Copies of this chain bind each other. A is one copy, B any other.
């Protein structure tokens, strides 16, 4: 039962964000009675923390460390994976959702959002650094800064895609990132 609740929480936090995903909606989707929720999670916030961890595990960050694929290629595939996993122009990334809605009110969630972004940027930075040592990514970039910038650009791209209801934002992200910024 706990697992069903967690799964539904992941889905709804992803589709609607924190506030618009009510505990009742989550338990309804999980097919369990609302009162049972608090036998498994101390609070909605506590569920969100676990949901965020779970979501982060599905982002396949390991792909960014796969030495059998050249760095630029694996970065490209990484972002293509993230893009292809998106529900259709609805809220696209739990980190971004919580980052926009919750970090001002929940210190535990803010720390996890921050930590998740840092981890992601570290993986990207390692790939940038390897690309530089192989001469396929421009040498003048600071890997940590470039990686940080890419996480920002990606989250912003998700916002724009949602407002535009168009995939053009992603096309532009790929074109500018791989043909201009990293090249």
Chain A residues in the interface with B (C-beta under 8 A): 16-17, 19-20, 90-91, 96-97, 99-101, 103-105, 110, 113-114, 117, 138, 140-142, 145-146, 148-149, 151-157, 159-160, 162-165, 169, 172-173, 175-177, 179-181
Contact = CB atoms under 8 A, between A and B. Distances in A.
Given A17-B101, A145-B175, A148-B172, A160 B155 contact: yes
B155 A104 contact: no
B104 A90 contact: yes
A105 to B, nearest CB: 8
A162 B109 CA distance: 12
Given A146-B180, A153-B153, A175-B145, A91 B104 contact: yes
